Amino acid sequence: MPSIIDRFLGLFSLDLGIDLGTANTLVAVRGQGIVINEPSWVAINRKTRQVLAVGAEAKEMVGRTPAKIVAIRPLRDGVISDFEVTEAMLDYFIRKAHSRNLFNVPRPRVVIGIPSGVTEVEKRAVYDAALSAGAREVYLIEEPMAAAIGAGLPVTEAHGSMVVDIGGGTTEVAVFSLGGIVVSRSIRVAGDEMDEDIINYARQKYNLLIGERMAEKIKIAIGSAFSLPEEKTMTLRGRNLVTGLPESVEVSSIEIREALSNSVNTIVETVRSTLDETPPELVSDLMETGIALAGGGALLQGLVERIADETNIHTWVAEDALTCVARGAEAVLANLDELRQVLVGLERNSTSRSATSIARRVA
């Protein structure tokens, strides 16, 4: 139970919906919408573990730091890989969200999106990190559920809805009805894996070593999952692995589509297998409402057409797909009593209580 002081501070604190993503962290304030959208990067001193920069400032340091400084992402595949750094990152974002608040009292209630199918240890790690970062109350929601709410799907009705949430570390596919997930799949193939595919393709075909930022830039500009009306080209810049010298290569969208094919095929097959296990009545509903795509990966060119072609179901990209999870978490806060059923509970046992210490050891 929150103390009297916590209740008093809560009167002047904000309620936050947080999409704690592998690639980006988004924070929505109840009644104000998205106020923070920054990369999930933290720069720290290797020796002292002091946090030097968080978010966009830390990402700018990637590949440009001296030996004593390292820029890292404290989340991998949607779960915490470094507890203390995640705690520091959350603390930074919570305080930043309150910076424009008149009373600047960072003791918020927060709803945080987590991948579906995570273990009790991983749930507890997120819960404890948020509490340690200053939250007075923490609620967890599965990311596909939050994405569906953010996309405006009728998840609480007796009608089937489906969302494919493609983030940085995980792709979440789920079918909903009556406020619950009927069928779901979570795979660790998403935006990061696509970037890695492009890096490997450049290395194998052109003996060219490129960085993650270049791979992401190429993916966004000319990456595709389906034939484009007009194919495009772009220049890859990196280091030749044979000569060791800088080099640039012109690549086409056809080549990048080939590079991305393994990841795209895996995502499409996951959608198909989810549909295969969906009850026929809900499949009938989905043929009316379609499949909603959310997350940054939903913006990959041609992905809508590819999934629609493979499933024979109308597929569409949610409005402002990048922010669906954070907006869904904000919507839950605004209607907590009505939507409490969509939240994820924690098992109150000795195993889950030890999650923080386990997460620290893993880090």
CATH assignment of the domain containing 278: 3.30.420.40
Same domain as 131, residue 49: yes
Q: Is 24 annotated as ligand-binding?
A: yes
Q: Does one domain contain both 128 and 237?
A: no
How far apart (Å, rounded) are the C-alpha atoms in residues 360 and 164? 32
> Is residue 86 marked as binding?
no
Residue 122 to residue 95: CA distance in whole angstroms: 24
Torsion, Cα of 75, 81, 82, 87 (10° steps): 50
Q: In whole angstroms, give the CA distance from residue 231 to residue 249.
A: 17
Q: Is 293 helix (H, G, I), strand (E, B) or coil?
A: strand
Q: Is 218 annotated as a binding residue?
A: yes
Residues 161 and 308 reside in one and the same domain: yes
Regarding whether 75 and 124 lie in a shared domain, the answer is: yes
- Asked if residue 240 belongs to a known ligand binding site, the reply is no
**Is 23 a known ligand-binding residue?**
yes
Examine the domain organization and report whether 245 and 117 are in the same domain: no
Q: Is 169 annotated as a binding residue?
A: yes
Angstrom CA distances, 235 to 204, 239, 248, 271, 326, stand at 17, 13, 6, 33, 34
Q: DSSP letters of 14-32?
A: PPEEEEE-SSEEEEEETTT
Burial of 49 (0-12, 13-18, 19+ CB in 10 A): exposed
Kindly give the interhelix angle for 253-276 and 191-206, rounded to the nearest 10 degrees. Answer: 140
18 annotated as ligand-binding? no
For the chain, 363 residues long, give each residue's pLDDT as a single digit of tens.
455 544 545 445 688 999 988 889 999 998 888 999 999 999 999 888 899 999 999 988 887 888 899 998 998 877 888 888 988 999 888 888 877 655 555 678 999 998 887 888 888 989 999 898 888 899 999 999 999 999 999 998 999 999 999 998 899 999 999 989 999 999 999 999 999 999 999 999 999 999 888 999 999 999 999 999 999 999 999 999 999 999 999 999 999 999 999 999 999 999 999 999 999 999 999 999 999 999 999 999 999 999 999 999 999 999 999 999 999 999 999 888 888 888 887 765 434 333 444 344 334
| Residue 170 annotated as lining a ligand binding site | yes
**Is 19 in the same domain as 139?**
yes
Distances (CA, A) of 126 to 37, 46, 68, 114: 19, 23, 28, 8
- Same domain (yes/no): 178, 73: no
| Residue 58 annotated as part of some ligand binding site | no
266 is in an annotated binding site: no
- Ligand-binding annotation for 191, yes or no, is no
Q: Are residues 24 and 141 in the same domain?
A: yes
The residue segments making up the domain with residue 159 are 152-189+262-321
Contact 174, 278 (CB under 8 A): no
Residues 31 and 111 in one domain: yes
Q: H-helix or E-strand containing 47?
A: none
174 is in an annotated binding site: no
Number of domains in the chain: 3
